[in-house]
A and B are shown apart, each in its own frame.
Chain A
Amino acid sequence: MSEPRLIEISPVTRVEGHGKVTIHLNRDNQVDEARLHVVEFRGFERFIRGRLYWEVPVIVQRLCGICPVSHHLAGAKAMDQIVGVDVLPPTAEKMRRLMHYGQVMQSHVLHFFHLAAPDLLFGFEAPAERRNIFEVLREQPELGRRAVLMRQFGQEIIEATAGKKIHGTGAIPGGINRNLPIAVRDRFLSRIAEMETWALEALAIARNYTLDHAELVADFGSFPSSHMSLVRDDGALDLYHGSLRAIDSSGGVIFDHLDYNGYHKVLVEDVRSWSYMKFPFIRALGAERGWYRVGPLSRMNTASFIDTPLADAAHRELRAVTGGAPNNSTLTSHWARMIEVVHCVEKIRELLHDPDLQGSDLVARGERRFEGIGVIEAPRGNLIHHYKVDENDQITYCNLIVSTTHNNEGMNRAVKDVAVKHLSGRDKITEGMLNQVEVAIRAYDPCLSCATHALGQMPLQVELLDAEGQLVDRATRGA
């Protein structure tokens, strides 16, 4: 009988993210547990304590290099409650929405182009050297050019609403600090038709791929799970505001129309000694069955419809693939993302035609409160910001649930499934297992920088250690 051993899989990361997978085997070489270690948000909830509440929307952008605008807006929504404002002046709400649609659009376009396009255009069968952005640019220069221009459009929307492309200041407690001058509006309007055409073309690429590869899509990283997101009161997709809806893997409603101020009534945030990241689960389903996913695919599953015609038609088509039941196949998220890009473009167009964007009533004030919660649908999924503020205006408490946290339990389980399948009873790490671990993590699109490499290129290091911590085997990919 062998000693218990520890296998470590460390995505070797260069920028923000550090993730590490450890797989714990028991003495009989059976997988006991899989742990994905994420340290991104370490310390932040503490750092913010003592800071002044109006700084929150600006400070929280430092949390994440990938979607700072989502944190900016979630933080601002929480601070709206602190200054006693439940309904913003129309100009403020619409400027923030414009900012958000610009952000989701640019983030999804980046994701599509860098991560999805190589696979969608060349197929997973193509050698890894071929499946990268440079090959896409070489073979499809026009597609590359459009991706750059679409992303730029989204970033310019952010700049026009927040003041800067990154780390702007637009949203302030109770409102916004600027409106949209006519001249700026007209500059965007002159490009919007082109954006729509390109968004629809990108949508077609994602849709056709998904439908043409039905078999691969069905079994590649398909993880049945519950899904949660904000939806508008009438059930429509709403990326900026709404109430919480959760459904199980077969579409049964777990909760609906839930005021997000009561998120902690339906979600339990489990803590494990080995991780800084919490493990939320849905209270009603319990710790064993209560895990769920968030993100574009989840939103396609939770939303009853989309309130813009082009995206709505695409949404109906996506839902038809599974006969209206939730779609649990990871590869379908590319399609979901492109539907959201179309939706964002339609929404941006609608907003640009709205004279409220030139309004001058920018900030509201109400009776000061001591607790504030802001929830938004970020590109990668639901995002919850929760603060308490004392009578001196200083933050005393902060709780964040980012999309990667929502997905935490799901990711750990998916990695464990892979480990059970590939490892138990063996002590060699195979390339096949690396690929499967990667697919499992990627299914949840975590905001780890390691996950921003093209499929098959996620830098991974696998270490096999015995009970004394001695290295038995090591497999490394990427760097």
Chain B
Amino acid sequence: MTDAAFTLTIDGTVVAAKPGQTIMEAADAAGIYIPRLCDHQGLRHQGGCRVCTVKAAGRSVAACTQPAAPGLAVENETPHLHALRRDLVEMLFHEGNHLCPICEASGNCELQAMAYRLGMIEPSKFPYLEPTRPVDASHPDIALDTNRCISCGRCIRASEDVDGKGVFGYVGRGIHRRVAVDGADLAHTDAALSDHAVSADVCPVGCIIRKREGFRVPIGERDFDHHLIGETIAEKRR
């Protein structure tokens, strides 16, 4: 492989890329936003949620893991992909218990913001699974409301790769796969507020929360009160 930069196209726009970059990284650098949930800056890519699905050379691939390649023609904003992404996000809502009006992540939540961006107005197509899931409030500083977990795995990767602790991990398989803590409950792990994995920004939703801080930020000053998710990336283009 050479180090030479190359170009590819995303929805017809010519985009520069470097060897080793994923499609998403090249897009980000060019100010083109590809929707995503499980991917997070500074964490290893997982390719789990599939919200970043794009068409590359006619095939559906995850933009967060698929390497950029010279001359590749990528489709991102097409009605088909839009509908697919919306379905995926809709299913995440239906799989857990998401009551946004009473959730402290409201306004800061990437799932909710994604739903707004993708125009998910009235979720109706899929049945609500209404699982019974526990709230783990055993830790003095952190609580885990797994009703809102979307199994994105960010906490797992942060805990393993960044903190080197392995506080979180997956249990179960398929649709039953869940995030769990390594121990009887959070209090019995060595999770600390200073860990990257439990810091407020790694969990995209209101599952890992800092205790006693909920609702301190008034409506109007939350992350997505005034702009759509992805807008900061798209701004680079101007």
- CB contact under 8 A between A177 and B218, given known A54-B212, A392-B137: yes
| Secondary structure class of chain B's binding surface, majority of residues | loop
Q: How large is the interface on B (under 10, 10 to 19, 20 to 34, 35 or more residues)?
A: 10 to 19
- Distance of A232 Cα from B138 Cα, bound (Å): 40
Partner of B214, one of A52, A167, A178, A394: A52
Partner of A50, one of B104, B135, B212, B217: B135
- Distance of A393 Cα from B142 Cα, bound (Å): 11
B219 within 8 A of A: yes
- Distance of A393 Cα from B104 Cα, bound (Å): 15
- Distance of A169 Cα from B102 Cα, bound (Å): 9
Q: Which B residues lie within 8 Å of A52 (CB)?
A: 135, 137, 143, 145, 209, 211, 214
Partner of B218, one of A59, A170, A394: A170
- Distance of A62 Cα from B100 Cα, bound (Å): 12
Q: Which A residues lie within 8 Å of B138 (CB)?
A: 392
B170 within 8 A of A: no
Partner of A177, one of B101, B135, B211, B217: B217
Interface residues of B in 90-138 (CB under 8 A from A): 101-102, 104, 135, 137-138
A58 within 8 A of B: yes
Task: Flag B181-219 by CB within 8 Å of A: 1 or 0 each.
Answer: 000000000000000000000000000010111111111
- Distance of A51 Cα from B101 Cα, bound (Å): 15
A163 within 8 A of B: yes
Q: Which B residues lie within 8 Å of A164 (CB)?
A: 219
Does the CB pair A393–B143 fall under 8 Å? Answer: yes
Count of A-B contacts with CB under 8 A? 58
Interface residues of B in 49-94 (CB under 8 A from A): none
The smallest C-beta distance from B171 to any residue of chain A, in angstroms, reads 21
Q: Which A residues lie within 8 Å of B212 (CB)?
A: 54, 173, 393
- CB contact under 8 A between A167 and B101, given known A52-B143, A392-B138, A394-B137: yes
- Distance of A54 Cα from B213 Cα, bound (Å): 8
Closest to A83 in B: B212
Q: Which B residues lie within 8 Å of A394 (CB)?
A: 135, 137
- CB contact under 8 A between A168 and B219, given known A59-B102, A62-B102: yes
Closest to B138 in A: A392
- Distance of A172 Cα from B212 Cα, bound (Å): 10
The smallest C-beta distance from B147 to any residue of chain A, in angstroms, reads 10
- Distance of A373 Cα from B102 Cα, bound (Å): 21
B220 within 8 A of A: yes
Does the CB pair B215–A178 fall under 8 Å? Answer: no
- Distance of A393 Cα from B145 Cα, bound (Å): 13
- Distance of A50 Cα from B137 Cα, bound (Å): 9
- Distance of A61 Cα from B209 Cα, bound (Å): 21
Q: Which B residues lie within 8 Å of A170 (CB)?
A: 218
A466 within 8 A of B: no
- Distance of A52 Cα from B104 Cα, bound (Å): 10
Q: Which A residues lie within 8 Å of B137 (CB)?
A: 52, 392-394
The smallest C-beta distance from A166 to any residue of chain B, in angstroms, reads 9
Q: Which B residues lie within 8 Å of A163 (CB)?
A: 218-220
Q: Which A residues lie within 8 Å of B214 (CB)?
A: 52, 54-55, 172
Q: Which A residues lie within 8 Å of B211 (CB)?
A: 52, 393
Closest to A172 in B: B215
Q: Which B residues lie within 8 Å of A59 (CB)?
A: 102
Partner of B101, one of A62, A363, A392: A62
Q: Which A residues lie within 8 Å of B213 (CB)?
A: 54
Q: Which A residues lie within 8 Å of B101 (CB)?
A: 58, 61-62, 167
Closest to A173 in B: B212
- CB contact under 8 A between A54 and B215, given known A59-B102, A167-B101, A393-B143: yes
Task: Flag A33-68 by CB within 8 Å of B: 1 or 0 each.
Answer: 000000000000000001110110111011000000
Q: Which A residues lie within 8 Å of B220 (CB)?
A: 163, 178
The smallest C-beta distance from B188 to any residue of chain A, in angstroms, reads 13
The smallest C-beta distance from A281 to any residue of chain B, in angstroms, reads 33
Task: Flag B142-153 by CB within 8 Å of A: 1 or 0 each.
Answer: 010100000000
Highest count of chain A CB atoms <10 Å: which of B143, B211, B212: B212
- Distance of A48 Cα from B101 Cα, bound (Å): 15
- Distance of A172 Cα from B215 Cα, bound (Å): 7
Interface residues of A in 162-197 (CB under 8 A from B): 162-164, 167-170, 172-173, 177-178
- Distance of A162 Cα from B215 Cα, bound (Å): 11
Interface residues of A in 360-374 (CB under 8 A from B): 363
The smallest C-beta distance from B64 to any residue of chain A, in angstroms, reads 32
- Distance of A50 Cα from B138 Cα, bound (Å): 12
Closest to A163 in B: B219
Closest to A176 in B: B218
The smallest C-beta distance from A184 to any residue of chain B, in angstroms, reads 11
Q: Which A residues lie within 8 Å of B135 (CB)?
A: 50-52, 394
- Given A58-B102, A62-B101, list of 15 further CB < 8 A pairs? A52-B135, A54-B104, A54-B214, A54-B215, A55-B104, A58-B101, A58-B215, A62-B102, A172-B215, A173-B212, A177-B215, A177-B216, A178-B220, A393-B143, A394-B135
Residue contacts A-B, CB under 8 angstroms, 29 given:
A50-B135, A51-B135, A52-B137, A52-B143, A55-B102, A55-B214, A55-B215, A58-B101, A58-B102, A58-B104, A59-B102, A61-B102, A62-B101, A62-B102, A162-B219, A163-B219, A168-B219, A169-B218, A170-B218, A172-B216, A177-B215, A177-B216, A177-B218, A178-B218, A178-B220, A392-B138, A393-B137, A393-B143, A393-B212
Binding site for A on B (CB under 8 A): 101-102, 104, 135, 137-138, 143, 145, 209, 211-220
Binding site for B on A (CB under 8 A): 50-52, 54-55, 57-59, 61-62, 162-164, 167-170, 172-173, 177-178, 363, 392-394
